[in-house]
């Protein structure tokens, strides 16, 4: 199980190798993705809070990267954080999410990206439920839910 110590260490010192790599140029991503998905996942924007139907849904399922279809999260780790974005306590496997220090809004945060294609997913915080105490605050547009 990942902890805040592990996440912080990876953000500072680097991430383990990704299980695979998907690399495309920007023009290809623009052509393949819906404009709103491109803005979130490739341009690093944040969707409006409470704009995703995924926020309150905790039905069984698995969540994949909207860009490369890598399995990122499972509904067994999803919870309603009340923040306005889908939230999870752990990734599907420890190596599918990468961590990066982010001081873009005058505070230190940890950005999370898909380790396979570098899509911006959201951020992780140390205020989630036990046992991990992690809250992966993820843009719903960066995810596609399996049935």
CATH code of the domain in which 105 resides: 2.170.150.20
Tens-digit pLDDT profile for residues 112-127: 999 999 999 999 999 9
pLDDT (tens place) for every residue of the chain, 147 residues total:
999 999 999 999 999 999 999 999 999 999 999 999 999 999 999 999 999 888 877 788 999 999 999 999 999 999 999 999 999 999 999 999 999 998 776 667 899 999 999 999 999 999 999 999 999 999 999 999 997
C-alpha 88/C-alpha 79 separation (Å) is 6
Q: Domain span at residue 54? A: 4-145
Closest residue by Cα to residue 22 from 63, 69, 68, 66:
68
Residue 147's Cβ-count burial label (10 Å; 0-12, 13-18, 19+) is: exposed
Among 30, 4, 1, smallest CA distance to 112 is for 4
Neighbours of 77 (CB within 10 A): 18
Residue positions annotated with a catalytic role: 137
- In this prediction the pTM is 0.94
Q: Tell how far CA 71 is from the center of its chain.
A: 11
Query: What are the tokens at 34?
Result: 């819906």
Please list the residues that pair with 98 across neighbouring strands.
Answer: 113
Give the pLDDT of residue 137. 96
| pLDDT score, position 53 | 85
| pLDDT for position 105 | 64
Helices (H) and strands (E) in the chain, counts: 3, 9
Domain count along the chain: 1
């Amino acid at each position: 199980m990942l902890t805040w110590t592990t996440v912080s260490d990876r953000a500072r010192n680097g991430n383990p190798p990704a299980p695979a790599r998907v690399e495309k140029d920007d023009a290809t991503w623009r052509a393949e993705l819906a404009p709103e998905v491109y803005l979130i996942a490739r341009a690093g924007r944040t969707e409006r809070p409470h704009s995703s139907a995924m926020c309150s849904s905790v039905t069984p399922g698995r969540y994949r990267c909207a860009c490369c279809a890598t399995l990122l999260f499972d509904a067994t780790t999803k919870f309603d954080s009340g923040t306005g974005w889908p939230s999870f306590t752990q990734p599907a496997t420890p190596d599918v999410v990468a961590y990066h220090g982010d001081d873009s809004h005058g505070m230190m945060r940890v950005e999370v990206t898909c380790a396979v294609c570098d899509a911006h997913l959201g951020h992780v915080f140390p205020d989630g439920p036990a046992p991990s105490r992690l809250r992966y605050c993820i843009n719903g547009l960066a995810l596609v839910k399996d049935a």
